[in-house]
Amino acid sequence: MENQTARYGVIGDGRLARHLKFWLGHKGLRVKQWSRGDDLDMTNPTLALAECDRILLAISDDAIEPFIQTWPELKDKVLIHCSGSLVTPAAIGVHPLQTFGERLFEPAHYDEIPMMLDQGAPPFEQLMPGLENPHCRMRPEQKAYYHALCVLACSGTQILWREMMSGFEQLGIDSDFAAPLLRKTAEDALRSSGADITGPLSRNDIDTQRRNLDALGGDALADVYRALQTTYRERSRNSNLKG
């Protein structure tokens, strides 16, 4: 049965917008999507989303404030942007802590996604009626660092994992062979934030680390490797000092 507690408008036509529309619709919430590529009679978002009481801005970070300035009539509605790093008085920040690809998730998965709210946001149940996701708040000065961590852990690992599988193919190794190792690595990391790191970094095996770097040569991955060496040494030193 349709949930009458809120009428959502979704701005954008990218992956996040598509996920949001699917999720909200599956929850029985009234939802309407608008983007610049819509039909001519829908090119004005204030008209297209006139019946909506809250607007989700699922557009790029640098487009959020200009969009609101272009359509000031939207300020009469509850404006919610989905950026993980932007802080603006023009809209309330609610960042879904998830990566959104081309494939839609199973409906139940969306309900488990943590929502990161701006510190001054209204209570979540008032801000986004019909949703019951886990959520927490962040101070404005925390957001950029929070988002940087997300980028490193998500996009960073995807880049590195793709490099590994591509490198395997160049060596004549089936890229599927990487799957058990990567899956176990992810499971260990999720099981405990203090999961032990294995390999030459944890063993302080200097000779193996040097051979690794020699093999990478002038590749940009060598700089990543060196950054990991430095990060691991600093974190280990700080941990020992605390202990």
Residue 59 lies in a domain: yes
Residue 215 lies in a domain: yes
The domain in which residue 58 lies consists of: 3-139
Question: Both 120 and 186 in a single domain?
Answer: no
Question: Both 118 and 177 in a single domain?
Answer: no
Question: Both 134 and 165 in a single domain?
Answer: no
Greatest Cα pair distance in the chain = 67
Question: Both 117 and 234 in a single domain?
Answer: no
Question: Both 125 and 165 in a single domain?
Answer: no
What is the C-alpha separation between 157 and 49, in angstroms, rounded? 38
Residue that wins the pLDDT comparison between 192 and 179: 179
pLDDT of residue 4: 57
Q: What pTM did the predictor assign?
A: 0.86
- Find the mean pLDDT for residues 215-241: 90
Question: Both 113 and 179 in a single domain?
Answer: no
Question: Both 125 and 8 in a single domain?
Answer: yes
What is the C-alpha separation between 144 and 87, in angstroms, rounded? 9
Question: Both 93 and 176 in a single domain?
Answer: no
Please determine, for residue 182, whether its predicted confidence score (pLDDT) is greater than 90: yes
Residue 146 lies in a domain: no
Question: Both 29 and 106 in a single domain?
Answer: yes
Residue 96 lies in a domain: yes
Question: Both 164 and 197 in a single domain?
Answer: yes
The pLDDT > 70 percentage for the chain reads 93
pLDDT of residue 2: 44
* Range in 2-16, 63-77, 171-185 the model is least confident about: 2-16
Which of the four pLDDT bands, split at 50, 70 and 90, describes residue 1? very low
> Which CATH number do you get for residue 191?
1.10.1040
Domain boundary among 139, 166, 183: 139
Residue 104 lies in a domain: yes
Please determine, for residue 158, whether its predicted confidence score (pLDDT) is greater than 60: yes
> Which CATH number do you get for residue 14?
3.40.50.720
Domain boundary among 118, 139, 160: 139
Give the number of domains in the chain.
2
Residue 144 lies in a domain: no
Q: Bridge partners of 33?
A: 10
Residue 75 lies in a domain: yes
DSSP strand E in the chain: where?
A: 3-11, 29-34, 54-57, 78-81, 92-96, 115-118, 135-138
Give burial (CB, 10 Å; 0-12/13-18/19+) of 2. Answer: exposed
Question: Both 161 and 135 in a single domain?
Answer: no
Question: Both 105 and 160 in a single domain?
Answer: no
Please determine, for residue 240, whether its predicted confidence score (pLDDT) is greater than 90: no
> For residue range 89-122, what is the model confidence (pLDDT) as tens digits?
999 999 999 999 999 999 999 999 999 999 999 9
What is the C-alpha separation between 169 and 176, in angstroms, rounded? 10
Coil, helix or strand at residue 84: coil
